[in-house]
């Protein structure tokens, strides 16, 4: 089949197959919505994907999962969503050389190198914390973002530009959950919550969100700053204009990017990073994209866990090793969260030893620097931003 024949109808509909084949799309969340979005983008000729999801398929997912694994894929991938979806995308994509890469971590742990890599960011995650993180990192890097969700027959979605001063997801969702609050951890609560979900709504919403992705990739920005609401059962549809919230706690302006000084060694720990930063910014603060949890109490037995990772990693599995969690116990308690790391002062040994990978500061990623008396900027960590992602068959 020739390329002209393959994409003849989509050309008539206004798609540019050459542009789509080169497009870079980050999709976070491989549930019903994410799979339907990726399926449509792949069939439409989008060639390059980064797919992020740490979860696995469950039996009830089969009713709304176009890429629910068959027996062979179960044996090969163990039901892991990101790997299964990437495998199917490589098979159905109409791009000449599809390149679906995937990560089986949280997006916060994957880091914002993947955000910088993308032409457009698509949030198909359930968690408020992950959506807020994506919204803020997308704006800091000047990247457009689409997000949406559904419950039963009802759905909603929005498109946000990457331009300075524009409204953002946090403008109307200012609150996020903290693992250090007195409430149940968001992850624990989400595990017990059952949200009505049907394939018809997932497919309809995915189609609408994909068209907004296409608009962005074809430089049509008419939907920015709008929120759309619909109900497929009642056949209703509405939209509202979203205003900028003057009290929004999120990020509204992209930051300039600086490279590390030539000859700097690749950093692996916070201590290594501090040495590099001090050469360019002697005083100020390093601000991780998410707070660092040094220690926390196991939610089952109450033991003190040594975490030394971003808050979302702890919230994903807030248990000690003795309770089948990933975190070793420790006699030392360091309560609270670390949101800013001083540059000039000698670092706390525990913080200094923290691996950058556990803070989502991966090769090709970025870290926000706040100079004393200066303007914030993003420091680029040397490396390939997709080096921590996996390839199908790799």
Instruction: At 342, list the tokens.
Output: 């001083």
Distance of CA 160 to the CA centre of its chain: 15
Per-residue pLDDT tens digits for 134-182:
999 999 999 999 999 999 999 999 999 999 999 999 999 887 755 544 3
Instruction: Decide: 162 and 221 in contact? Cβ < 8 Å.
Output: no
CA dist 213 → 15, 24, 73, 161, 229 (Å) = 11, 11, 29, 12, 17
pLDDT of the residue at 392: 86
pLDDT of the residue at 192: 47
Instruction: At 311, list the tokens.
Output: 């808050």
pLDDT of the residue at 181: 44
**Confidence bin at 234 (pLDDT 50/70/90):** very high
Other Cβ atoms within 10 Å of 42 Cβ, number: 23
Per-residue pLDDT tens digits for 119-145:
999 999 988 899 999 999 999 999 999
- Give 359's Cβ-side CA count (13 Å radius): 34
Strand (E) or helix (H) holding 286? strand 284-287
**Confidence bin at 393 (pLDDT 50/70/90):** confident
Please, where are the H alpha helices in the chain? 3-6, 8-12, 17-22, 32-43, 71-77, 81-92, 107-110, 113-117, 128-140, 169-172, 186-192, 199-217, 270-280, 311-316, 349-352
Strand (E) or helix (H) holding 99? strand 99-103
For the domain 3-241, what is the CATH superfamily, name and number? NAD(P)-binding Rossmann-like Domain (3.40.50.720)
**193 pLDDT exceeds 80?**
no
CA dist 42 → 22, 66, 318 (Å) = 12, 13, 36
3 state SS for 339-379: CCEECCCCCCHHHHCCEHHHHCCCCCCEEEEEECCCCCEEE
Task: Write down the pTM of the prediction.
Answer: 0.94
Kindly list the domain boundaries of the chain, sorted by start residue. Answer: 3-241, 257-391
**Confidence bin at 186 (pLDDT 50/70/90):** very low
Average pLDDT over the chain reads 92
**Mean pLDDT value of segment 86-95:** 95
**244 pLDDT exceeds 70?**
yes
């Amino acid at each position: 089949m020739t390329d002209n024949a393959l994409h003849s109808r989509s050309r008539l509909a206004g798609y540019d197959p050459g542009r789509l084949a080169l497009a870079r799309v980050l999709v976070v969340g491989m549930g019903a919505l994410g799979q339907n979005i990726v399926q449509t983008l792949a069939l439409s000729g989008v060639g390059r994907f980064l797919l992020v999801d740490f979860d696995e398929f469950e039996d009830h997912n089969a009713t709304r999962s176009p890429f629910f694994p068959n027996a062979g894929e179960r044996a090969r991938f163990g039901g892991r969503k990101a790997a299964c979806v990437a495998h199917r995308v490589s098979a159905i994509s109409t791009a000449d050389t599809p390149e679906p890469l995937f990560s089986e971590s949280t997006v916060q742990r994957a880091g914002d190198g993947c955000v910088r890599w993308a032409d457009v960011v698509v949030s198909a995650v359930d968690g408020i914390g992950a959506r807020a993180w994506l919204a803020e990192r997308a704006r800091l890097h000047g990247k457009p973002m689409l997000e949406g969700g559904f419950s039963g027959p009802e759905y909603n979605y929005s498109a946000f530009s990457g331009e300075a001063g524009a409204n953002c997801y946090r403008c109307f969702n200012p609150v996020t959950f903290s693992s250090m609050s007195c409430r149940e951890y968001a992850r624990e609560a989400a595990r017990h919550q059952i949200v009505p979900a049907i394939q018809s709504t997932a497919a309809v919403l995915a189609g609408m969100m994909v068209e907004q992705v296409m608009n962005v990739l074809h430089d049509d920005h008419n939907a920015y700053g709008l929120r759309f609401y619909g109900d497929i059962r009642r056949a209703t549809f509405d939209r509202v204009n979203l205003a900028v919230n003057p009290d929004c706690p999120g990020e509204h302006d992209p930051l300039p990017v600086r490279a590390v000084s030539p000859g700097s060694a690749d950093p692996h720990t916070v201590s290594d990073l501090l040495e590099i930063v001090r050469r360019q910014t002697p005083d100020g603060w390093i601000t991780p994209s998410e707070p660092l949890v040094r220690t926390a109490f196991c939610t089952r037995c109450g033991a003190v866990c040594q975490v030394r990772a971003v808050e979302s990693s702890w919230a994903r599995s807030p248990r000690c090793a003795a309770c089948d969690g990933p975190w070793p116990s420790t006699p030392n308690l360091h309560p609270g969260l670390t949101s800013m790391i001083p540059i000039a002062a000698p670092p706390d040994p525990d913080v200094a030893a923290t691996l950058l990978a556990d803070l989502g500061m991966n090769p090709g990623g970025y870290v926000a620097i706040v100079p004393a008396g200066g303007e914030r900027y993003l420091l680029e960590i040397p490396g390939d931003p997709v080096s921590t992602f996996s390839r199908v068959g790799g």
